[in-house]
Amino acid sequence: MLWRPGPPRNARARAAFEADVWNARCHYFLRMPTEREKMIAGELYRASDPELVAANLRAQELLARYNATPPAQSAERDAILRELFGGVGEGTTIKQRFACDYGFNIRVGRNLFVNYDCVFLDVAPITIGDDVQIAPAVQLYTATHPLDHAVRRSGLEAGKPIRIGDNVWIGGGAIVLPGVTVGDDAVIGAGSVVTRDVPAGAVVVGNPARVRDSAK
């Protein structure tokens, strides 16, 4: 069964996101899907597929350039980021060292700030809204693996999307697990492990993260 994503809040990101998913779904039914199409559609896929290996290599080369480019060369850094990501809003700042799998599955809104040493595993779409602040060493994991040991040993894996709304603050060292949606204006405490959706305006802390307050 195909994963059917909900649209991100940002209109421009939503249109691009829905177009990608629609294309992947159409290709899936019209012919044998590629491993990349399976990955984006949320199906089991093989990361060892040559197309995906090449896409990952491309991303790592761009990341090496991005992380080695001095902060003063902001125009060059912005150009690399736009080549790497599927969509980048104005005013985006991402500190070194940043890491991701492919880049093309990441779409971010305006005024995103990502601090040092963050990791976005984007085998499935990662959509981030406007005015989001992400502290150092935050990790967004869309990648997941089969619980069945035989299937897992076969090399198949999968992904579930992460969606982060507008004006969200994610504290240092927090981990957001596959399939999580974080509502607008929410706060995730430092060191939290987020295993389920976070309501809009909520403050969540702990492992697993639980609602402790509202962000006002």
Domain spans in the chain, listed from the N-terminal domain onward: 11-214
What is the token pair recorded at 211? 């609602």
The pLDDT of residue 85 is above 60: yes
In CATH terms, 11-214 corresponds, of 3.40.50.12280, 3.40.50.800, 3.40.50.11540, 2.160.10.10, to 2.160.10.10
pLDDT of 112 above 80: yes
- Residue 41: which H helix or E strand, with range? helix 35-41
Question: Is residue 145 annotated as a catalytic residue, yes or no?
Answer: yes
Residue 152 CA to residue 125 CA, distance in Å, equals: 22
- Selecting among 145, 197, 200, 215, the annotated active-site residue is 145
Average pLDDT of the chain is: 91
pLDDT band at 21 (very low <50, low <70, confident <90, very high): confident
Mean pLDDT value of segment 162-191: 98
Q: What is the pLDDT of residues 119-142, one digit of tens each?
A: 999 999 999 999 999 999 999 999
pTM: 0.84
pLDDT of residue 9: 64
Beta-carbon count within 10 A of 70 CB: 9
28 Cβ partners below 8 Å, 6+ apart?
2, 37, 38, 41, 43
Q: What is the mean pLDDT of residues 149-167?
A: 96
